Structure 1
Amino acid sequence: MTRSYEQTCFIARALDVLGERWTLLILRELVLGPRRYGALLNALPGIGNGLLAARLKHLEKHHVVRRTTLGGPDHIGAYELGERGEALIPVLKALVDWGAGLEEPSSEYTSRTAWRMVAMRLTAPEEAVDFDALTQLVVGDEMLWLHGDGNRIRVEVGVAPITPDLRLTCDKETFNVLARGRMTVERAMAAGELTVEGEPDTARVFFELFSLPDRHQSPVSGPSQK
Structure 2
Amino acid sequence: MRSYGDPCGVARGLDIIGERWALLVVRDLLLGPKRFNDLHAGLPGVSPNVLTQRLRDLTEHGVVQRRELPPPARVRLYELTDWGRALEPLLLHLGRWGSQAPTTPDGPLGIDSILLSIKAVFDPANAAEPAGVYELRIDADTYVIEVTDGSLHISRDTAPEPPDATLTTDLDTLRAICDHRITMAAALDSDSLRLDGVEHAKQGLTDLLLAPFDSSPGPTDAPRP
TM-score by length of 1: 0.73
**Any idea what the Cα deviations from partners look like across 1:113-138, whole Å, max 9, x if unmatched?**
33211222343234799844241233
Check whether the contact 2:92–2:116 (CA below 8 A) recurs between aligned residues: no
Q: Residues 161 and 75 from structure 1, CA distance in 2 versus in 1: closer, same or farther, beyond 3 angstroms?
A: farther
TM-score by length of 2: 0.74
Percent identical across equivalent pairs? 27
Q: Superposition RMSD on alpha carbons, in Å? A: 3.7
Q: For residue 154 of structure 2, what is the aligned residue in structure 1? A: 154
Aligned pairs (5 A) from 1:1-226? 2-69=1-68, 73-74=72-73, 76-103=75-102, 105-107=104-106, 109-126=107-124, 131-138=131-138, 141=139, 143-148=141-146, 150=148, 153-156=153-156, 160=158, 164-165=162-163, 166-170=165-169, 175=174, 189=188, 194-210=193-209, 211-212=211-212, 214=215
**Any idea what the Cα deviations from partners look like across 1:16-62, whole Å, max 9, x if unmatched?**
11110000110111012100122112221232222222211211222
Alpha-carbon distance, 1:73 to partner: 4.9
- Equivalent residues, number: 213
Letter in 2 for 1:59: L
Question: Bigger shift: 49-58 or 25-34?
Answer: 49-58
Whole-angstrom distance in 2 between the partners of 1:185 and 1:76? 37
Check whether the contact 1:136–1:164 (CA below 8 A) recurs between aligned residues: no
**Any idea what the Cα deviations from partners look like across 1:137-196, whole Å, max 9, x if unmatched?**
33xx5644123274761332xx73667523223465764576589998668646866421
Structure 2: 5+ residue stretches without partners: none
Letter in 2 for 1:146: V
Letter in 2 for 1:31: L
Alpha-carbon distance, 1:96 to partner: 1.2
